Amino acid sequence: MKLNMSKMIFVMVILLSSLISLSVNNWFTIWIFMETSLFMFIPLMSKNKVNDQSMKYFIIQSMSSYIFLFSIMWNSIKQNNWNSMLTLTSLMIKIGMPPFHVWKPDIMKSLKWTECMLLTTLIKIPPMILINKMICMYLLILPLLITLIVGSLSGFNQLNLKKMMAYSSIFNISWMTSSFMTSKKAMIMFLSMYSFLNISAMLFFKANNLMFVNQISLINLKKKMIVNLNLLSISGLPPLTGFYPKWIILNELVKSSILLTSTMILSSILSIFIYMQINTFSLSNLGLKKKNYKFFFTKNFSAPNLIILPVMLIMWKF
C-alpha cells in the first residue's frame, strides 16, 4: 500500500478515531468513531476496485453494527442479561473474538502487511472500549477463556505468517480486554507495547518480503535473531519487553479471577511454544542444506540453547 495523500488521510482518520474513542464516555459517539474507522479502512483494502475481501469485511462489520444497535434499542425497553449478551455478541463479531473469529485469518491472508497492522491494532480499540463500558465482568469470563484457548491452539502448524499473526491478534484480544478491565495505566501500557511490537514485526516481514514461515530460514542470522526475539516478546516470554505489561495485568487480575489468570498463564506457554517452533526451524539445521547435516553436533547449538534459556529463566525466578 503506497501512502499517497488519500490513503494518508484514511490512516490519520483511523488513528484519530481510535485515540478520541479513549477519551469519550458516550457509547453513541464511540459507535460513530467505530463506524468511521470501518469506512476509512475499506478503501485501503479494496485498492482501486471493490474485491471479495472488502465486501466480506463490510458485510460482517455491518451485520455486527445492526445487531449492536438492535440490542441497544431492546435494552432501552427492557434491561436484562440477554440484551447484554446480544451486545457482547455483536462486539465479538466486530473484533473477531472466538467463536466468531473465522473471518479474520481468512481476510488477513489476502491483505498487505500495512493493512494487517491497522486491523490488528487501531481497528480493535473502539470495540474494546465499548466492551469495557457496557459489559459486566462476569459475562466476559467465558468468552475470554474461549479466546485464550482458541487463539493459542489455532496457531499450531500455521505456515502462513499473516494467518499466524491473525491468530496471535485473536489470542491477545483477551489480554487487551483484561487490560481495559484492570486500570487505565495498564491499558495504555499494554496497548502501546503490543502495538509497537506487532507493527515492528509486520514491518520486518514487509521489508524482507516474507510470507511463509520457511522463508525466515533464508535470511541472515542477525535478521533471524531480530524477528525471533520480536515474536517471543509478543508472546510474553520473560525477560523480554512484552512480558512486563502482561505481568502487570496478571498482578491486577489475580485479585478478581483466579480461573482466568491461570488460563492466561497456561495458554501463554502454548503461545510461546508456537514461536519456539519458528526459532527451531529457522536457527537449526532444518533450515540448512542437506550437505551441512554432518556438522550438526559440532557447529549448531541453537536448538539446545532455545531449550535451556526458558529453563534457566524459570530456575532464576524460583
Q: What digits encode the pLDDT tens for the residues 160-206?
A: 888 888 888 888 888 888 888 787 788 888 888 888 888 888 888 88
Q: Which residues pair with 315 in a beta bridge?
A: none
- Is-contact 84 139, C-beta < 8 A? yes
pLDDT at 281: 63
Q: pTM, whole model, 2 decimals?
A: 0.81
Structure confidence by residue, pLDDT tens digits, 262-310: 888 888 888 887 777 776 666 664 444 444 434 333 333 344 444 444 4
- Is-contact 162 106, C-beta < 8 A? no
212 phi and psi angles, rounded to 5 deg: -130, 160
Mean pLDDT of 75-98: 80
Q: Reply yes or no on whether the pLDDT at 8 is more than 70.
A: yes
160 phi and psi angles, rounded to 5 deg: -80, 125
Decide: helix, strand or coil at residue 22. Answer: coil
- The 10 Å Cβ neighbour count of residue 262 is 12
pLDDT at 306: 44
Cβ-based burial of 142 (10 A; exposed 0-12, middle 13-18, buried ≥19) = exposed
Residue 237 domain flag: yes
Structure confidence by residue, pLDDT tens digits, 117-153: 888 888 888 888 888 887 777 788 888 888 888 888 8
- Residue-averaged pLDDT of the chain: 78
Mean pLDDT of 87-100: 87
- Is-contact 272 237, C-beta < 8 A? yes
* Peptide bond preceding 310 in cis form (omega within 30 of 0): no
pLDDT at 2: 53
Residue 312 domain flag: no
- Is-contact 121 172, C-beta < 8 A? no
Which range marks the domain in which residue 132 is found?
Answer: 5-283
Mean pLDDT of 51-68: 85
Number of domains in the chain: 1
Which one has a higher pLDDT value, 318 or 233?
233
Mean pLDDT of 21-25: 83
Q: Reply yes or no on whether the pLDDT at 110 is more than 80.
A: yes
Which one has a higher pLDDT value, 228 or 280?
228
Residue 305 domain flag: no
Cell numbers describing residue 156: 499450531
Cβ within 8 Å of residue 80, ≥6 positions away: none
Query: pLDDT confidence of 47, banded at 50, 70, 90?
Result: low
Query: pLDDT confidence of 71, banded at 50, 70, 90?
Result: confident
Residue 294 domain flag: no
Concatenating the DSSP letter of every residue in 20-85 gives HHTT---HHHHHHHHHHHHHHHHHHHHTTS--HHHHHHHHHHHHHHHHHHHHHHHHHHS--HHHHH
Residue 291 domain flag: no
pLDDT at 126: 87
pLDDT at 112: 85
Residue 134 domain flag: yes
The rounded distance, in Å, linking the Cα atoms of 259 and 97 is 19
